[in-house]
Amino acid sequence: MGIFKRGDDKGDQWKANTPPRLQAEPREPRQSASNRNEVIAENIGTLMERVSLNSVQEIDRLIDDLERLKARLASEAERVQREVVGYASLSQSAMQSTKIITESLSHWRKPPQSAPHPVPHTADAPNVSEEA
Mean pLDDT over the full length of the chain = 75
What is the percent of the chain where pLDDT is above 70? 58
Give the per-residue pLDDT at 56.
Answer: 86
Pick the residue with more confidence: 33 or 7? 33
Q: In terms of pLDDT, which residue wins out, 122 or 52?
A: 52
Contact 23, 15 (CB under 8 A): yes
For 49-74, the pLDDT digits (tens) are: 888 888 888 999 999 999 999 999 99
* CA 40 to each of CA 11, 34, 56: distance values in angstroms, whole numbers, following the listed order: 40, 10, 23
What mean pLDDT comes out for the span 104-118? 68
What letter represents residue 109's amino acid?
R
Return the H-helix or E-strand segment holding 100: helix 33-109
With a cut of 60, say whether residue 6 has pLDDT above it: no
Please tell me the total number of residues recorded for the chain in this structure. 132
